Structure formats: C-alpha cells, structure tokens
Structure 1
Amino acid sequence: MALYSSISPGALVLMLLIFPALINNLAAKHGHTTTIYHHHHHHQQHHHNRLPEKAVLNNRLQRAYIAFQAWKRVIYSDPKNFTSNWDGPNVCNYSGVYCAPYPNNTKIQVVAGIDLNHWDLAGFLPDEIGLLSDLALIHLNSNRFCGILPQSLSNLTSLYELDLSNNRFVGPFPSVVLSLPSLKYLDLRYNEFEGKVPSELFNKNLDAIFVNNNHLTSVLPPNFGTAPASVLVFANNKFGGCLPPSIANLANTLEELLLINTSIKGCLPQEVGFLYKLKVLDVSYNKIVGPIPYSIAGLAHLEVLNLGHNMMTGVVPDGVCCLPNLSNFTFSYNYFCEEEGICRNLTSKGIMFDDRRNCLPDKPQQRSKKECDAVDQHPVDCSQNCSDSLH
C-alpha cells in the first residue's frame, strides 16, 4: 500500500484538457512522491519540445526568452550542465521547458510547463519569472534555490501546480501564492519558511497543501477546515493550539491528514470521526491528551492511524480496531490503560501495530506503575477549552 500518496490523477487530467500538447511530455513523469519521510526522488530524464527551425516567435515566447535569460544569469551552480542549451530564441527547445498551444489560439505556442526536478541548481528566482504568464505548472523539486519568492509570481494566473519542495527558500510564508487564482496543488515542503501561516490559505480552493518541514509557528486557525483539500501535510512545524472542530467541514474531500510533530495539544475533537473519506491520520509526536474519540470507529476507509508519542489516556476501543481497512495502528508512548476486544490481539487480524510504553496490564514494554498512577490522578476534561484541558 502506498502511504501518504499524492493527490488524485484529476490534476493530470485537467492539465491534459487545458494543454493537449503536454500529453507526451508530462504523462510519463507526472505524479508526486509525497511521503514526508523520503524527499529525494529518483532522477527522471527530461525531454523537451522542438520548434521548427523557422518558427516565428510570438510575443509570449519573446517574453519567455527574456525570463529564461534573466533566470540563467542568476543560476550560480549547474553541476549537471542542464541549462547549457538555454540559449537562443527558441525557448521551447530548452531543457525542462514544455510548450503547448495557447488555449485561445492554438496556432500560437506558449510556455506551459517548467520541470527542473532534481537538477541540483543553485540560484534564485528572478522578478522576470513573472513574464511566464502562461505557465500551468512549475516543478523545482530538489534543487538549491534560495532567497524569497518574487511578488511577480502573482502574474501566473494560469498556474495549477507549484512545487518548490526541497530547496532553500526563506522568509515568511510566501503570501504571493494566495494570489494565484488557478492554483490547486501547493508544495512548499523542506524549505526554510518561517512565521505564521495566513488563515487565507485555507480559504483557497486547493486540493493538496504540503508545508511540512519548515519553521512555521502559528496556531492552526479556526478556518483550518475550510480548504476543500484531499491531502493536508503540516508535519514538522511548530503550530501549537488544538485541532479545531471546523475540521468537520473537510468531510467531503479529506483523505490524508498528517500533523506529525506540530506541537498541537488538547483532546482530539469528535469531529475527526466525521471525515468519512479519511485513509491516513497521523497526529504522532504531539501533546494530545484525553481519549480516542469513539467517532473514529466510523472511518471505514481508514488504513493508517498513528497516535503515538502523545499523552492520551483511557481505553483503546474495539470499534477502532475492527475498522475494515485498517492495516497499521500505532498508539505507543501514551498512557492507555486498556485494550478492548480484538485490540488485544491485532496480529490475528494482520494489522501492524505498536502498543509499547503505555499502561496496559499484561503487555510487555509498558510504563512504570509510578508513571501511570501520576497521570491517572489528573483526569482530562475534554469539555474544557484547549488550554484548560492539559495537566
């Protein structure tokens, strides 16, 4: 089973409807390895379109030429020499550049895609990148681009996918991405962005948001559940706060929610159990207290549930262990005191599990009686607000 998988192929389908000429170039290499633990992908070969030698460059390609020449000037390191053919006016012949017919006039070619994944380029994004106003996708995964994102990116009104992952971009959350009206897929993983995530991000019509492994430090906003996303990955940031009940609003879309090591606290809201399409829920390495919401027993599609390394208490309910598609259930390093029914023998169901370091009688590798008693003496009241629910 592919865990932490990417968004549905719908993104590709739409791309191919908009830009038919991208079919041969992108079909084979589209798709995203979104596992947050493995952020080095296999190197892919790069092909590029050929324009006829006597092709007449339109003003859109002329603007693109200006943009690529400006970009090439600020690429300081190109160890694999990929940009060596970024020369001359026929930009559609450049490595990593993909042209397609302009939707409003198919006789005109435009630059529709840039894919520089795994080129190991060092440099930054120049203001002139805003001249590439026909771009539908930008893939810059696994390079050494740095600096802040230019505000001119707001000119890319057709941009559908923006993948800047595994680079060295810095500064506050790049609010320029909030101005992109067509954006559906936003991947900012493994960079150096810091500070607050604007609540406006969750008002965007995004299908996938990856901001894990940055230095973001804000509380999850009350409108966290507004974005109609299928995948939300916020792991390895310092958000804090509680998981807001508004998460219930994601019920019709959300399939994967990863909040690993984000400093969230309080009890898991019962509304988590409303996310009936959820396949992956990972809230490990946080400060979550209280019981497992019994509503999770209704998540029939759930495959992976990781509650490990929190401060949760109470019973591991049989209803959760009986979920029809559950294949991996981790609840180690908590303070659970009882496993109901089949939970005591998940091996018999073929479910991978980890129940170490709890307060479970007759199970190996549990916490000491002293540790368990100390927590038992401070029961959690989940009806209280977030800050009051901590012991």
Structure 2
Amino acid sequence: MCRNLPSLTGLHLSKNQLSGTIPTNLSQCSGVEVLSLSYNSFCGEIPSEIGYLTSLQLLYLGGNNLNGILPHEIGHLQGLVSFGAEQNEIAGSIDFNIFMNMSSLQNINLWRNKFTGNLSRDVGNITMLTELYFQENHLTGLIPTEFGQLYHLETIGLDLNSLSGSIPHELFNISTLRSLSLVENALSGVIILYTASFLLLHVGNLSSSLREFYAENSKFSGNIPVEIGNLSNLMILFLPANELSGNIPLTISHLHELQGLNLSHNMLGGSIPHAICDLFSLNTLVIVEDKAKEIWRNFVIVLNLKLRSVQIQYINEAMLLV
C-alpha cells in the first residue's frame, strides 16, 4: 500500500465512509507517524500488523465497529503519544502492560466500548499520561491507588462503569488534576460516607488545578463540608442524585470561578446561601427542594438579578429564569 510512498508520514482518512476490515498491508507504511481512521465504518479486529508501524505517534481508530480485544502488538509502538479507540465494541480487560514501554504516551481514549474487569495497578507505570477516558464500559472493582503515581494527569473519566469502593486518597497527590468525572458508578456504603467528606477535605494539592468535578449518582452521602470553598478555581461542580444532606455551606460562595452548580436530587435542607449571588460567573444553578418553596421563591428574586440562566426545580414543578 505504501511501497511507492516512502516519504509518507501521515495518513488521515477520518470521517469518510470507509468500511470493511482495516487492511493488514498498512504494515508497509513503516514511516507513518499519524494514522487516523476514526469515524468510518470499519469492522472486525484491530490487526496485529499495526504493531509494525513503529514510527507512529498518533493512532486514532475511534467511532467504528471494531471488536475483539486490544492486540498486544500495539505495545511495539513505543513512540506513541496519543491512542484513541473510543466508540467501538472492543472487549476484554484493559491490559496496561501493552502501554508500559510507551514513555511518551499522554492520552488513552477508550470510552464507550465493552471492556470488563478491574482496572489494573499497572496504570501507574504510564507516567507521562495526561488524559484517560474510560467512560461507558463495564469496568468493576476498585479505583487503583496507583493513579496517584501519574503526576502529569489532568483528566480522569470513569463515568458509567460499575467501579466500587472509595476514591483513593492518592488521587490528591496529583497537583495537575483539572477534571475528575465519576458519574454513575457503584461507589456505595459506609466507606463513601467517609469519602464524600474526605474528597473535599483533602483539597490542598488540588485547589490550584481542579476545574471540573462530576459525581452524579455516585452514592455520596453526608454533609457537603465547608472545605469545599478551598477549591478556588472550580468552574463546574455537579453532584446530583446522591445522598447528600445538611445545609449548603456558606463557603460555597468562595468559588468565584464557578459557572455551573448542580446539587439536585439530594437530601439537602435549609436555605440557599444569599452569598451565592456574589458568584458573578455562575450561569446555571440546579437545586431540587421539596420542603421550603417559600425560601427558594424569595431567593429567586435576588438571584435573577445576578444570573443569566438559572433553573430552580421543585419536586413537581420547574422554572427557567432568563
């Protein structure tokens, strides 16, 4: 395929209507540094011959109908910087040993596949990793403490799996972490009662970096601790459909960069702190309350002067103020 193109370094074929299996003779393109076949209709397994493309730095296979497992031959691509195979039907466990010799690997994108099993502790060996997207798979077990060894990590996406146990405190050693998303897992039980507070109390290392925290339907319980105000650069805080109780802490008004706040479908009581009106960046607020409508109505009058778009929800009614 590439025999007459010895200088070819990039093969960009994304978003066409290509179908069939990925041709094995791609292995002839030994000088290719970028291979992008994403968002076509390729089917079948990822060919093991892809391991011969030892010059590859970027490999994008997402948005196809690929199945089977990740071939171990991918591990021969030691210069790989970014690997994406999202939105396929690839199954089996995620073998992080495949990536161990990739000293420059920064991005792994495997969301919306059919991966099963536990996350291996070997993830801690991919030391240059900055982004990891494993959402919408069938992963189980604990979040490995070895995540804490990934000191360059900026984004962790583990939504819509069946992970259990607590959030390991080693995550809070990652001073570069900007986005942590754990929506709809099985993080439940007494451990999570502790973790809900632990998560927000141990923010010293995160306060200068964390921008987004998503934990919808993650079984968090207990009060929202006052230390949440230490997350000074937080822009998105979404904690809906948990079991949080108590009052909204006044310190939430310290989050001056906050743009979106969703605390709906919890068991919160009391009133919304009026100091939230000083959050001039806030444009979306979603809080469900069934006990004190009159408190919310009085607050909405003030709040609407400050915010561009606010959704205030009650159990059986909703208002959108513009």
Q: TM-score band (shorter)? A: 0.7 to 0.9
Amino acid at match of 1:219: L
Find the aligned partners of 2:107 and 2:45 in 1 and give their Cα distance: 21
Cα distance change of structure 1 residues 275 and 309 upon mapping to structure 2, 3 Å threshold: same
Give the corresponding residue for 1:275. Answer: 206
Give the corresponding residue for 1:121. Answer: 42
Amino acid at match of 2:202: E
Alpha-carbon offset, residue 330 of structure 1: 0.4
Deviates more, 1:342-351 or 1:331-340: 342-351
User: For structure 2, which runs of at least 5 residues remain unmatched after alignment?
Assistant: 298-312, 317-322
Cα distance change of structure 1 residues 344 and 86 upon mapping to structure 2, 3 Å threshold: closer
User: For structure 1, which runs of at least 5 residues remain unmatched after alignment?
Assistant: 1-50, 69-77, 93-108, 369-391
String of CA shifts for 1:237-287, please: whole Å, max 9, x gaps.
Answer: 011111122221012x00111110112231321114641211110111111
Give the corresponding residue for 2:63. Answer: 142
Find the aligned partners of 2:290 and 2:262 in 1 and give their Cα distance: 12
Give the corresponding residue for 1:326. Answer: 258
Amino acid at match of 1:211: F
Aligned 8 A contact 2:224 2:248 in 1: yes
Find the aligned partners of 2:76 and 2:27 in 1 and give their Cα distance: 22
Aligned 8 A contact 1:318 1:339 in 2: no
1:249 aligns with 2:173: yes
1:190 aligns with 2:112: yes
Cα distance change of structure 1 residues 202 and 84 upon mapping to structure 2, 3 Å threshold: closer
**Alignment counterpart, residue 150 of structure 2, candidates 227, 251, 271:** 227
Cα distance change of structure 1 residues 358 and 243 upon mapping to structure 2, 3 Å threshold: farther
Find the aligned partners of 1:324 and 1:344 in 2 and give their Cα distance: 9
Give the corresponding residue for 2:183. Answer: 260
**Alignment counterpart, residue 293 of structure 1, candidates 221, 225, 236:** 225
Aligned 8 A contact 1:169 1:193 in 2: yes
Give the corresponding residue for 2:319. Answer: none
* Count of residues in correspondence between the two structures: 284
Deviates more, 1:188-197 or 1:273-282: 273-282
String of CA shifts for 1:89-119, please: whole Å, max 9, x gaps.
Answer: 9966xxxxxxxxxxxxxxxx81111101111
Give the corresponding residue for 2:32. Answer: 111
Find the aligned partners of 1:213 and 1:279 in 2 and give their Cα distance: 22
Alpha-carbon offset, residue 367 of structure 1: 6.8
**Alignment counterpart, residue 80 of structure 1, candidates 6, 17, 21:** 17
Aligned 8 A contact 2:135 2:158 in 1: yes
Describe the SS at the equivalent of 2:285: strand
String of CA shifts for 1:193-217, please: whole Å, max 9, x gaps.
Answer: 0010012213422100100100001
Cα distance change of structure 1 residues 255 and 52 upon mapping to structure 2, 3 Å threshold: same
Find the aligned partners of 2:27 and 2:141 in 1 and give their Cα distance: 45
**TM-score calculated relative to the size of structure 1:** 0.64
Describe the SS at the equivalent of 1:202: helix
Find the aligned partners of 1:210 and 1:192 in 2 and give their Cα distance: 13
Find the aligned partners of 1:214 and 1:85 in 2 and give their Cα distance: 23
Cα distance change of structure 1 residues 359 and 246 upon mapping to structure 2, 3 Å threshold: farther
Give the corresponding residue for 2:91. Answer: 170
Give the corresponding residue for 1:239. Answer: 163
Find the aligned partners of 1:297 and 1:223 in 2 and give their Cα distance: 28
Describe the SS at the equivalent of 1:165: coil
Find the aligned partners of 1:84 and 1:149 in 2 and give their Cα distance: 15
Aligned 8 A contact 1:291 1:312 in 2: yes
Higher-strand-fraction structure: 2
Give the corresponding residue for 2:310. Answer: none
Give the corresponding residue for 1:202. Answer: 124
Aligned 8 A contact 1:280 1:304 in 2: yes
Alpha-carbon offset, residue 353 of structure 1: 0.8
Deviates more, 1:216-225 or 1:353-362: 353-362
Cα distance change of structure 1 residues 335 and 203 upon mapping to structure 2, 3 Å threshold: farther
Amino acid at match of 1:264: L
Aligned 8 A contact 2:26 2:49 in 1: no
**Alignment counterpart, residue 245 of structure 2, candidates 313, 322, 334:** 313
Aligned 8 A contact 1:316 1:343 in 2: no
Find the aligned partners of 2:282 and 2:26 in 1 and give their Cα distance: 60
Aligned 8 A contact 1:225 1:249 in 2: yes
Amino acid at match of 2:110: L
Alpha-carbon offset, residue 321 of structure 1: 3.1
1:160 aligns with 2:81: yes
Give the CA RMSD over aligned residues: 3.5
Cα distance change of structure 1 residues 349 and 196 upon mapping to structure 2, 3 Å threshold: closer
